[in-house]
Structure 1
């Protein structure tokens, strides 16, 4: 499969871009996302997450490892085969877990980050239809990345085109599909098709970790 790099489109910031952003946020229920306290999901069948969004606490499980940490301070605990890791091994495990979390969670939460601090929004034309380009000028590990969101007739995102540092070809398109509805009419896409096919399973949302994790709160160990 051969991909041709496309130039980054030139967008128009202003009222029309903010109005389209409003419509996307209403369609997926940004307010419900903002008030959601806890999320669980599995990425590609092998990275398992519990996320206390309100307190910035994350549990990541993969293979024989489990890491429980604060994703702002990167402080926490790590286990391998249920044995607690110490010093350098713990630091490495937390770093790996955080890299997994930053990448994998973006495939769940990106539509809710259209107005993050450091973003700019602009209208671009794609196949004679208006699309929303969001550029991240700061934050995250790849400032300067741009995403062009294509939406359906109900303003639900159906795909994006990426101009990002991690992919050398500009304009690669990946779908946002299999949208599921969660409490408070929150909508989350659970699969993506494109250069890679990605799936999110076991997605749960709630107002506490206990509510989505059979009454158990693993963060009491911190």
Structure 2
């Protein structure tokens, strides 16, 4: 692992609202899909999970615009080797996710957060340790469209921030249109945003833009390359 500075790592919490996953997950675990095609599998399929096994490398820049401020960090990830590189204007941190020291673990919290924004439809079948429920014809919080609402409630045992809940809103084709994030123990969402500006690269269907209702918060991906 290498690092130019610790400044970025002190700022990670500014834009991480949640990150779920095992602290040292394996790439093999992310290849697994359930035998039964329930609604979670249908969402993952609609976003192209069947093409994941062919992916060798992802590169992307994670951007956040909040009011007049801008923040970004870039990633290079080789999932089959579990190798990750984080780059910013102040830092470069490289590590292998199977063997992480304290500095790599801090960077990995940011990686998991950004990866969830990028690949949440796949986390629905990669992850363990959560329950889900479905309601049909629910008014989505931003568009008010009638969509299926899937509630994802993580348990209190695993991940960097256990016990959080997500509600995702999917259309008839099982494509995510909006989501809401509820921190552990909260009945009101901390953030509600769109999923839009979809692009398909090497079979993966990725939402590149997420905005809140007022547009004062925008989280988006640029420099997206999938090989």
- Aligned pair in 2 of structure 1 residues 18, 173: CA closer, same or farther (>3 Å)? farther
- Aligned pair in 2 of structure 1 residues 175, 34: CA closer, same or farther (>3 Å)? farther
Matched, 1:119 2:130: yes
Distance, in Å, in 2 between the alignment partners of 1:153 and 1:146 is: 23
For these two proteins, the number of residue pairs brought into alignment is 173
Matched, 1:36 2:63: no
Q: Gaps (5+ residues) in structure 2?
A: 1-35, 64-70, 140-145
TM alignment of 1:1-222, pairs within 5 A:
19-44=38-63, 46-75=72-101, 91-92=102-103, 94-115=104-125, 116-125=127-136, 126-127=138-139, 129-137=147-155, 138-165=157-184, 169-170=188-189, 172-183=191-202, 185-194=203-212, 196-206=217-227
Q: Which is richer in helix?
A: 1
Q: Partner of 1:46: helix, strand, or coil?
A: strand
- Aligned pair in 2 of structure 1 residues 131, 34: CA closer, same or farther (>3 Å)? farther
Give the superposition deviation at 1:49: 0.6
Could you tell me whether the CA contact under 8 Å between 1:159 and 1:173 is conserved in 2? yes
Could you tell me whether the CA contact under 8 Å between 1:192 and 1:199 is conserved in 2? yes
Q: Gaps (5+ residues) in structure 1?
A: 1-16, 76-90, 207-222
Give the superposition deviation at 1:33: 2.5
TM-score, length of structure 2 as denominator length = 0.67
Tell which structure's C-alpha radius of gyration is larger. 1
Q: Partner of 1:102: helix, strand, or coil?
A: helix
Could you tell me whether the CA contact under 8 Å between 2:46 and 2:174 is conserved in 1? yes
RMSD: 2.5
Distance, in Å, in 2 between the alignment partners of 1:26 and 1:96 is: 31
Greater mean alpha carbon deviation, residues 195-204 or residues 17-26: 17-26
Give the superposition deviation at 1:117: 1.4
1:164-204 CA distance string (max 9 Å, x none): 24988426421111111011x22011110017210111111
**Counterpart of 1:216?**
none
Distance, in Å, in 2 between the alignment partners of 1:188 and 1:135 is: 23
